[in-house]
Structure 1
């Protein structure tokens, strides 16, 4: 059985959501970043961490790629053009949404106070809005890549939810509607319910 270390309010949400979509059994071990349980598995202390038997996989995107490839769902076949396009979308979401939100978080509360530059937030908000519009222009169907949901959709939706919590406006109507439909998925709701356990 898979073991997922992390918290629902972190990028572990992405991994848990994919596991719920896949219908694969897992054990969720609630653990914060740099906790003893996490640091014992991942010296950086970052979450999420996936334990598969004696093997450890850190990083939400690496974990999701492994799970999608292993189970042959929520991904296109390796070596296909569609997979390369999926990977391009995934990296675009990570570079243009996730990284912007992470930078804002670092300067908002993660870095030591003397290292924070709060004045960067308006610039990051502008960049985020511009990048949302670019992503919306790339959407070709009900999901980012058309008719098939992939791990890129899970990462994008997680970022859109993160943006709301971080008070980054999501004013692109196409992506706002897309996020609402993704949040309506049963697997998404099951993971969100884990936060109350």
Structure 2
């Protein structure tokens, strides 16, 4: 049995969604970063945390990779060229979307006020817009890797929603259709209802 600590309002949404896609039983401890619940399972209070077999795994991508590999779902086989392409897409999304959005968050409310640089968000917003175009160019089919739903689809959909929420930009054209289709998946709807 798995236990996931985190909220659908942060990066914990990613492994929540994957657990719903795989259809595994799991328990969920809703928590926000830095909360007593988070610190009980993560000394630095960061989320998400997956608890399994008496061990904890942190970081949404690490958790998803572990679950996908273990259960053979939503991933290409390790060591395959398809997996290399999938990992390339994952790194692109983490570098070009997640990192920009996290930097914006840090300069909005995470860092102490005296260390925030609000003007940096204009540059990040511009870069995010370029990344939207690059992602649209890389779209290979109904899913990012073609016909099959994989981990990059979870990361991309989460980041596209995050970017829209903070007014960094919204997908257009084929990317907008892709985004809407991913958010219509039953597992996504179940995960976000938690």
Report TM bin, short chain: over 0.9
Corresponding residue number in structure 1 for 2:179: 179
Partners of 1:137 and 1:167 lie apart in 2 by 22
- C-alpha displacement of 1:171: 4.3
Give the secondary structure class of the aligned counterpart of 1:118.
coil
Map of 1:158 onto structure 2: 158
In structure 2, the partner of 1:24 is 24
The residue number in structure 1 matching 2:193 is 193
Matched with 1:55 is 55
State the alpha-carbon separation in 2 of the partners of residues 131 and 172 from structure 1.
13
Q: Deviations over 1:115-163 (max 9, x none)?
A: 1111111111110010111111111111001011100100000000111
Unpaired segments of 5 or more residues in structure 1? none
Kept after mapping to 2: 8 A contact 1:69/1:75 = yes
**CA apart distance, 1:187:** 0.6
CA contact (8 A) 2:139 2:175 kept: no
1-structure distance, mates of 2:178, 2:64:
21
Aligned residues: 194
Matches within 5 A, 1:1-197: 1-194=1-194
For the aligned residues, what is the CA RMSD?
A: 1.0
Q: TM-score, normalised by structure 1?
A: 0.95
CA contact (8 A) 1:6 1:49 kept: yes
Structure 2, unaligned runs of 5 or more? none
Distance 1:173 1:158 in 2: 18
Q: Could you tell me how far apart the structure 2 residues matched to 1:193 and 1:33 are?
A: 19
- Does the 8 Å contact 1:136/1:175 carry over to 2? yes
State whether residues 96 and 131 of structure 2, in contact with CA within 8 Å, keep that contact through their aligned partners in structure 1. yes
Mapped to 2, the partners of 1:151 and 1:2 lie a distance apart of 19
Cα offset, 1:38, TM superposition: 2.2
**Normalising by the residue count of structure 2, what TM-score does the alignment of the two structures yield?**
0.97
- Give the match's secondary structure for 1:153: helix
